[in-house]
Amino acid sequence: MPVSHAPISAFEVPDEAELPEDIRERILAVQDKAGFVPNVFWVLAHRPAEFRAFFAYHDALMEKDSGLTKGEREMIVVATSGINHCLYCVVAHGAILRIREGNPLIADQLAVDYRHADISARQRAMLDFAVQVATASHTVGEAERETLRAHGFSDEDIWDIGAVAAFFALSNRMAHVTAMRPNDAFHLMGRQPGEG
């Protein structure tokens, strides 16, 4: 008996025709740019108001200028999503991370064991803080902020690290609540050196 692919969501997924216009446009724009529509767009479109807030929050953190590079922000996503066993976020953001960093190995390293990844000491401190926010946020305090400052992070950077970890705490949980399945295409993207 062949094992069949799971559907992309445990909930109903809207047809393109049913989508509110702004959501349809966002999805078409993504398709134009990436060549396919990441499943998170279809799955969350089940709830348009939440969809809009989710992507507004995502873009506010991940697309803006920051003391963290876009690649570093993806490192936080992949490392904390690995700790949280979130397949969607590890696979989709792992692909983005490989491409942003031009590094075919980094996503596997961060998802499985960020302590043994090819990253700088500063990035390791960034991930230690992010993982602490992901797993025991009540224990972070001034001592942790001082450690980050000693690695050259500004207070705005500290907010960014914490906020990305916090946002993907939400994102990981929505992926699990909906049994969100990553697109097959993500698994292979960025795995050739220099790809991206």
Site string for its own copies, 101-140 (x = CB under 8 A): ---xx--xx-xxx-xx-xxx--x---------xx--xxxx
Residue 143 binds to its own copies (criterion: CB under 8 A): no
Residue from 24, 57, 67, 151 that binds its own copies (CB under 8 A)?
57
Residue 142 binds to its own copies (criterion: CB under 8 A): yes
Residue 61 binds to its own copies (criterion: CB under 8 A): yes
Report how far residue 50's alpha carbon sits from residue 57's, in angstroms, rounded to the nearest whole number: 10
Residue 43 binds to its own copies (criterion: CB under 8 A): no
Least distance in angstroms from the C-beta of 102 to its own copies: 12
Q: What is the CA radius of gyration of the chain?
A: 17
**Closest CB to its own copies among residues 24, 46:** 46
At 176, give phi and psi (nearest 5°).
-75, -40
Residue with tokens 């097959």: 184
Residue 70 binds to its own copies (criterion: CB under 8 A): no
**What does 85-136 look like in DSSP terms, one character per residue?**
T-HHHHHHHHHHHHHHHT-SSHHHHHHHHGGGSS--HHHHHHHHHHHHHHHH
**Closest CB to its own copies among residues 24, 48:** 48
